[in-house]
Chains A and B, each alone.
Chain A
Amino acid sequence: MTEEMGGLADRFGGLSGRTVIAIVAVFALAGLGVVSVVAPGSDAAALFGIIASKSALSSTLRLAAPIVFAALGGIFAEKSGVINIGLEGLLIISAFAAVYGTDVTGSLWAGFLVGVVSSTLLAAVFAVVCIEFRADQIIAGLAVWLIALGLAPFTSQVIYNGPNTASVQSFSTITVPVLAEIPVFGALFDATPAVYLMFLAVAVCWYTLNRTSFGRWVRAAGENPKALDTAGVTVSRVRYAAVLLSGVLSGMGGASLAFNIGQFTGNGPTMVNGKGFIAIVAYLFGNYNPIGAMLSTFLFAGLDAIQIRLQTVGVFAVPDSLIRTIPFVTVIVVLALVGKTRIPEAAGDHYESGED
């Protein structure tokens, strides 16, 4: 009744939720593969054809990049003790700003930079509010989301007379000769700069968190801020750095998202459409490990890629709007199976240094 409750998977059978999901995913894929060999004409075979294709992997990577960037940012912030639930807002603002920047400067990379800067500024506001003024992090994060959700379409309306911006350039793919010819996995070498940047960012973030003194400080600020303080490192400074970093990374994510199509669309939940929240689940599922976060993002983005393909191919007679719920439902299922993740000890708490 009052015992610590794990996720559903923990309660039924003692396997960790993560293991269950990984096993289910692998078996589903293997099962589909077997069926497609045995019954080449079946729906399952067609589905396997969609999944195990170079184009599916390619669009998975493309869809994953923005989420992975945001998740990396979320890891830094939360590891340092600041739960940044406003990642969605950071993605929205940077997606818009990147397109606007490119529209004004004519340069895609200049626009990319504008996106990163705008997201970092909004993250800075969030940081000040949380760290300096001790706001409730969840409420402040919601505010960041809602502000961006209003501000981006507002500005778009001011400049472009509509919630959608004009179209600018989009990322073109960089193809590595020979390697790109590999079946299926050739997609890894025939991708947009954002995808290459994503792999680089995952590696750099993993190294920073686990092998540098800054990474140690970030982890200490979230686990045991008092110890960090005792060791002579200013906790709030580390947290500021981590939250700003989440702004920079989310900015790269938002810009990558916008340059996938070269436009910002601001109707309803905007083109970001929950990706910031999916990023949070991705890093929770990935247990705050950048590589784990990337792999779990691939799961969500892969499902998204499949649903987009299903919409166009029309293998099953499942309507469009139901297929579009797949990523959201998956997030809920994953969260239920993983259950309570061990969040950093001091996450969500304000830290007041003893000697002010």
Chain B
Amino acid sequence: MSAGDGDGGGRIDRLRDSMVALTEASAGERFLIAFAALALSILVGTGIILVSGFIATCRTPVLTLGGQTLCYDPVLVFDRLFLGALGDPLSGGWSPLNPQFAVTLRETTVLVFTGLSVALAFRAGIFNIGTQGQLVVGALASALAVLWVAPLLSGVVGTVVLIPFGLFVGAVGGGLYGAIPGALKAYADANEVITTIMLNFVASLVALYLINAYFGDPDSAANQTVPLPDYATFPTVLFDPRLDFSLLALLVAFVFVGGVYYLLEHTPFGYDIRTSGLQPEAAEYGGIDSARTVVASLTLSGALGGIGGAVYVLMVLGNFQTGIPSYGFDGITVSILAGNHPIGAVFAAFLFGVLKSGSSVVDFATDVPPQLVGVLRGLIILFVAMPEFFRMAGRRLASPGDGETPAPAGGADDD
């Protein structure tokens, strides 16, 4: 890692230059890896579509090869997935206000929150797999609280009061639910990966119970609450009110992106979080209370997930329903793809917004099951997790036949 001790400045300077070059490259490299991971996932996804296209039976195959029929057209699938999600920008008369693009932005909005939630915990060195559960709790808390308060208010005043109130309650609900694994990790050393996954199951079962037993809509067969009054939901701006997308909510999401960025980079607490995540022993040395940082960062992470749930209720659903889509798990992918950076999370969330929105277009336009997006999600995480693969591939491309050069093992001590 460091130059031999006792030599002059010249060698160190050269070493420094190469190190600086390396760190500068790594930001670009990270982007390249994210891009390559996406491309590779699409490639593998194509393979899966082809194989399953031959297995599936259908009336109108797109291709017949020696008695075998291919039911799915991968080009069409990815065309629908990406272009469809944007509302076909390549065809004429495209407007950014088109319905499918609104769906994409709607998904993006919720995913920004779950991505931030996972990223914040990650930066503190904590795997919060429980964003899903925190989102469910936040959504439920927010819906119930708003339903409870709404009759006291109405009109514009209602909106101005109830939206922040709903978001706040969602944050408190998700935050408290995130504090549980935080406290368990800090004070009982319980591994947060397992506890948060378990709490996901508990959250959805308890939500199901509460809706069934106490808060369900008596006029509905589905497990859901009565609808929120219109003035208690996010008002749409520019977009068609029927589209369940509010630019205002997206704006709120951006505010939180800025907030998390500010928190991490410009506050003492953010410094504590980053130090704990990078080097727990140095954090301890720097006077950082590791237990408190764990609880606080998981609480904040849960609060962000909870706000995501509140936004989902106040913008998309208009009430609470059980069986909330897996925004929390997508948040993991968003965060990993963004290198756990809050601003990167916006782009990653948009990519996943496209995938989620596009999957419904795919479902409509082709016979390919929409679960394909779930597979792609896993593949992207897998490929982003192995930067070494891309580095090796890069080296092999750069110098054919010389690709076996092993990277030096990192972390050599000079002491």
Direct contact of A and B (CB under 8 A): yes
A146 touches B386 (CB 8 A): no
Asked if B184 lies at the interface with its beta carbon under 8 angstroms from chain A, I say yes
CB-CB nearest in chain B for A7:
B188
B329 touches A356 (CB 8 A): no
Question: How far in angstroms is the closest Cβ of chain B from A113?
Answer: 19
Residues of B within 8 A of A352 (CB): 406, 409
B194 touches A331 (CB 8 A): yes
Q: For residues 319 through 348 of chain B, which have their beta carbon under 8 Å from a beta carbon of chain A?
A: 323, 329, 332-333, 336
Count of chain A to chain B residue pairs whose CB atoms are closer than 8 Å in the complex: 162
Question: How far in angstroms is the closest Cβ of chain B from A91?
Answer: 14
CB-CB nearest in chain B for A267:
B323
Residues of A within 8 A of B332 (CB): 142, 146
In the complex, what distance in Å separates the CA atom of A332 from the CA atom of B187?
A: 13
Q: For residues 107 through 166 of chain A, which have their beta carbon under 8 Å from a beta carbon of chain B?
A: 125, 129, 132-136, 138-140, 142-151, 153-155, 157-159, 163
Q: For residues 360 through 381 of chain B, which have their beta carbon under 8 Å from a beta carbon of chain A?
A: 369, 371-379, 381
Asked if B262 lies at the interface with its beta carbon under 8 angstroms from chain A, I say no
Name the prevailing secondary structure of the A interface residues.
Answer: helix
B190 touches A335 (CB 8 A): yes
Residues of A within 8 A of B212 (CB): 319, 321
Residues of B within 8 A of A5 (CB): 187-189
B205 touches A322 (CB 8 A): yes
Residues of B within 8 A of A268 (CB): 323
CB-CB nearest in chain A for B408:
A352
Take A135-B388, A150-B372 as given contacts and tell me if A277 and B197 are in contact as well, using a CB distance cutoff of 8 Å.
yes
Asked if A178 lies at the interface with its beta carbon under 8 angstroms from chain B, I say no
Partner of B392, one of A133, A280, A331: A133
B184 touches A340 (CB 8 A): no
Take A7-B188, A139-B381, A154-B372 as given contacts and tell me if A332 and B195 are in contact as well, using a CB distance cutoff of 8 Å.
yes
In the complex, what distance in Å separates the CA atom of A125 from the CA atom of B40?
A: 15
Take A158-B52, A332-B198 as given contacts and tell me if A321 and B386 are in contact as well, using a CB distance cutoff of 8 Å.
no
B375 touches A133 (CB 8 A): no
A129 touches B194 (CB 8 A): no
Partner of B378, one of A6, A132, A145, A155: A145
Take A85-B193, A157-B371, A336-B184 as given contacts and tell me if A274 and B198 are in contact as well, using a CB distance cutoff of 8 Å.
yes
Residues of B within 8 A of A1 (CB): 289, 291
Which of A1, A133, A280, A356 has the largest number of chain B CB atoms within 10 A? A133
CB-CB nearest in chain B for A336:
B188
In the complex, what distance in Å separates the CA atom of A163 from the CA atom of B197?
A: 22
Asked if A71 lies at the interface with its beta carbon under 8 angstroms from chain B, I say no
In the complex, what distance in Å separates the CA atom of A273 from the CA atom of B205?
A: 12
Asked if A312 lies at the interface with its beta carbon under 8 angstroms from chain B, I say no
Which of B127, B199, B371, B388 has the largest number of chain A CB atoms within 10 A? B371
B379 touches A143 (CB 8 A): yes
Question: How far in angstroms is the closest Cβ of chain B from A95?
Answer: 16
Residues of A within 8 A of B208 (CB): 321
In the complex, what distance in Å separates the CA atom of A277 from the CA atom of B201?
A: 11
Asked if B94 lies at the interface with its beta carbon under 8 angstroms from chain A, I say no
B375 touches A147 (CB 8 A): yes
Partner of B386, one of A129, A151, A269: A129
B377 touches A146 (CB 8 A): yes
Residues of B within 8 A of A281 (CB): 194
Asked if A231 lies at the interface with its beta carbon under 8 angstroms from chain B, I say no
Question: How far in angstroms is the closest Cβ of chain A from B136?
Answer: 12
Q: For residues 181 through 227 of chain B, which have their beta carbon under 8 Å from a beta carbon of chain A?
A: 184, 187-191, 193-195, 197-199, 201-202, 205-206, 208-209, 212-213
Residues of A within 8 A of B195 (CB): 332, 335-336
Partner of B205, one of A129, A147, A321: A321
Asked if B55 lies at the interface with its beta carbon under 8 angstroms from chain A, I say yes
B378 touches A146 (CB 8 A): yes
In the complex, what distance in Å separates the CA atom of A126 from the CA atom of B356?
A: 26
Residues of B within 8 A of A6 (CB): 189
B385 touches A143 (CB 8 A): yes
In the complex, what distance in Å separates the CA atom of A12 from the CA atom of B332?
A: 36
Residues of B within 8 A of A142 (CB): 129, 332, 381
Question: How far in angstroms is the closest Cβ of chain A from B91?
Answer: 29
- Bitwise interface map of A from 194 to 207 toward B, beta carbon under 8 Å scored 1, else 0: 00000000000000
Partner of A277, one of B127, B194, B371: B194
Partner of B190, one of A129, A159, A336: A336
Asked if A328 lies at the interface with its beta carbon under 8 angstroms from chain B, I say yes
| Chain A residues within 8 Å of B, Cβ to Cβ | 1-2, 5-8, 11, 85, 125, 129, 132-136, 138-140, 142-151, 153-155, 157-159, 163, 268-269, 273-274, 277, 280-281, 284, 319-322, 324-325, 328-329, 331-332, 335-340, 352, 356
Q: Which 10 A-B pairs have the closest CB atoms?
A: A150-B374, A147-B378, A157-B369, A146-B378, A143-B382, A150-B375, A154-B371, A340-B189, A133-B386, A143-B381
9 A-B pairs (CB sep. < 8 Å): A2-B290, A133-B389, A134-B388, A135-B382, A143-B378, A148-B378, A150-B372, A154-B374, A339-B188
What 8 additional pairs, Cβ within 8 angstroms, besides A154-B52, A277-B198?
A2-B290, A139-B385, A143-B381, A150-B374, A155-B52, A325-B201, A335-B184, A352-B406
